[in-house]
Amino acid sequence: MAVPESNLVAAVERMSRALEQLAAAPSVRAVLDEVVRSAVGTLRAWHGSVSWWDEEGTLRTVVTPGLPEDVAAATAALLMRQPLGTAEAPRVYSATGLGLHTLLEGEPSLRERVAPSALMAYPVFLAEGARVGVLVGWFREPPLPGEEVVRRFGLYAQLAGIALAKDRMVEDFRRMAARARAEAEHAEVLRLSRFQEVTEAFSRALTRTEVARAVLALGLPAVGAQAGTVHLVVPEGQHVELTASVGLAPEVEAELRRMPREGAMPGHEVARTREPVWLESSEELHARYPELAARPGMGAWPAFAFLPLLAEGRVMGVIGFGFGEPRRFSGPERSSMLGLARQCGLAMERALLYEREHAARLQAEAAGQRLRLLADASALLAHSLEWEETVEGVARLAVGAFADLCIVDALEERQVRRLAVLHVDPGCEEVARRLKAFAPDPERSSIVAAMRQGRPLLEPRMTPERAAERMGNPDVARLVQELGVHSFITAPLIARQRTLGALSFVRVGEARPYMEEDVALAEELARRAALAMDNARLFRATRAAEEESRRSAARLHLLVRVSQLVAEAGLNLGQVLEVLVHEVAEAIGDGCILQLVSEDGQFLEPAAVHHPEPAARRLLEQAVIVRRLRVGEGLQGAATSMGQTILLGALEPQTLDGTGPEAALRPYLERHGPQSAMVVPLVAHGRARGSLLVLREARGRPYGKDDQLLLESIASRAALAIEDARLYAAALQALRQRDDFLSVAGHELKNPLNALQLQLRVLARKVREDNLSDSLAERADRVARTGERLGLLIEDLLDVSRINAGQLRLQLGEVDLCSVARDAVSRMAEELSRAGCEVRVEAPAPVVGLWDRLRLEQVVLNLLSNAAKYGQGRPVLVRVEAAPGQARLSVRDEGYGIAPEEHERIFQRFQRAEATRHIQGLGLGLWICRQIAESHGGSLRVKSQPGQGSTFMLELPRPESGTKPPPA
> DSSP of 292-327, one letter per residue?
HHHSTTGGG-SEEEEEEEEETTEEEEEEEEEESS--
Q: Global pTM?
A: 0.32
Which amino acid is it at 749?
A: L
| pLDDT score, position 139 | 84
- In whole numbers, what is the pLDDT of the chain averaged over residues? 77
Helix, strand, coil % (nearest 5) of the chain? 55, 20, 25
Pairing type for strands 813-816 and 848-851 reads antiparallel
Report the largest interatomic distance among the alpha carbons of the chain, rounded to a whole angstrom.
166
Residues with Cβ within 8 Å of residue 654, at least 6 apart in sequence:
none
Query: Which is higher by pLDDT, 257 or 375?
Result: 257
Q: What angle do CA 331, 333, 337 make, to 5 degrees?
A: 120
The region, left, alpha or beta by phi > 0 then psi within -120 to 50, assigned to residue 259 is: beta
Please tell me the predicted confidence (pLDDT) of residue 669.
Answer: 83
What is the spatial distance between Cα 633 and Cα 639, in angstroms, rounded to a whole number? 9
- Residue 143 has a pLDDT of 57
- Give the C-alpha separation, 699 to 675, whole Å: 8
Report CA torsion sign: 214, 215, 216, 218.
positive
Of 612 and 401, more confident: 612
Residue 806 has pLDDT above 80, yes or no: no
More confident residue, 237 or 941: 941
Q: Is 357 helix (H, G, I), strand (E, B) or coil?
A: helix
Contacts 24+ apart (CB under 8 A), 355-362: 355/207, 355/208, 358/206
CA distances from 10 to 38, 182, 340 (A): 9, 49, 75
**Strand runs labelled E in 357-414:** 405-412
Which of the four pLDDT bands, split at 50, 70 and 90, describes residue 3?
Answer: very low
Spatial separation of the C-alpha atoms in residues 125 and 571, rounded to whole Å: 81
- Angle, nearest 10°, between helix axes 516-569 and 573-587? 180
What's the rounded Cα separation, in Å, for the pair 950 and 952? 6
pLDDT digits (tens, 9 = 90+) for 522-575: 888 778 777 777 777 777 777 766 666 666 565 566 666 666 656 655 566 667
Nearest to 492 by CA among 400, 398, 391, 393: 391
Residue 342 and residue 310 in contact, taking contact as beta carbons nearer than 8 Å:
yes
* 345-371 pLDDT per residue, tens: 888 888 888 777 776 676 555 544 555
What's the pLDDT at 784?
61
Q: What is the average per-residue pLDDT within 42-65?
A: 88
DSSP label of 440: P
Helix 573-587 × helix 705-770 angle, to 10°? 170
Opening angle at CA 193, ends 190 and 194, nearest 5: 85
434-484 tens-digit pLDDT = 877 777 777 777 788 888 888 888 888 877 667 666 666 777 777 777 787
Contact 380, 393 (CB under 8 A): yes
Span 642-693, pLDDT tens digits: 888 888 877 887 777 666 677 788 888 888 888 888 888 888 777 887 888 8
Q: Are 488 and 456 in contact, with CB atoms under 8 Å apart?
A: no
- What's the pLDDT at 635? 82
What is the predicted pLDDT for the residue at 5? 42
pLDDT confidence band for 965 (50 / 70 / 90) = very low
Please return the burial class of 491, using the count of CB atoms within 10 Å of its CB with bins 0-12, 13-18 and 19+: buried
Tell me the pLDDT tens digit for each residue of 766-775. Answer: 766 666 666 6
Which amino acid is located at 956 in the chain? Answer: L
For β-strands 415-423 and 498-508, DSSP reports them as unpaired
Residue 285 has pLDDT above 50, yes or no: yes
Over residues 101-110, the mean pLDDT reads 80
Q: How high is the pLDDT of residue 304?
A: 92
E-only strand ranges, 468-588: 485-495, 498-508
pLDDT score of 536: 73
Residue of 419, 469, 415 whose CA lies nearest to 445: 469
DSSP 835-869: HT--EEEE--S--EEEE-HHHHHHHHHHHHHHHHH
d(CA 619, CA 616): 5
Give the pLDDT band (50/70/90) at residue 867: confident
